Structure 1
Amino acid sequence: MQSLDLEVKTLIIECLNLEDIDASEIDSAEPLFGEGLGLDSIDALELGLAVKKKYNIVLNADDNESRQHFASVNALVQLITASNSGE
């Protein structure tokens, strides 16, 4: 699970071009939006596309449940783990 955590953090950094942040600086429990990492709605779309492409997970951006999956790195890891175990 820890390697998936690092993989998700690296995906966030790469797909959003966050050049001045390292994966070790991202708290897995910290919110990705607002007060946490400070991502915005455009970042959410880009991250959603990256997650879809890398992990073959389809999310509805207007779906409240999908928003919860992007609450933190931990939430994304749980989503990916659950989706992969369901295959």
Structure 2
Amino acid sequence: MSKSVLHDRVKKMIIEELKLEDMRPEDIGDDVPLFGEGLGLDSIDALTLVVGIDKAFGVKIKDEGTGTQAFRSVDAMVEFLRSQGVGD
């Protein structure tokens, strides 16, 4: 799977899991922070994304530090997923 396809799948997962009906994948920048000033997600959203990554990609986030790094942006999520063998 190409990196751009994985980016699109991650964005669609974020939209579906967080029920962001008014948002399209192209509305989410690859390097935009997901939390705080960026997309504006919060800690409840982070937990939802942990479950979403497991459901969509079969990858578990094992600790808070990993989640913090992986959820910085869509780019960071894609790099984390690729490091776990997704998209190879």
- State whether TM-score is above 0.5: yes
Provide runs of 4+ in structure 1 moved above 3 Å. Answer: none
Offset, 1:83: 0.5
Partner of 2:28: 26
The Cα offsets for residues 13-63 of structure 1, whole Å up to 9 and x where unpaired, read as 0010001111101001000001000011110000110101221211135x2
SS at match of 1:84: coil
Q: Any stretches of 5+ residues in structure 2 without a counterpart?
A: none
Q: CA RMSD in A?
A: 1.5
- Structure 2 residue matching 1:34: 3-state secondary structure: coil
Identity of aligned residues (%): 40
* Aligned pairs, number: 85
1:41 and 1:50 mapped to 2: Cα distance? 14
2:12 to 10, 13, 26: 10
Separation of aligned partners in 1, 2:7 and 2:30:
7
TM-score, normalised with respect to structure 1: 0.90
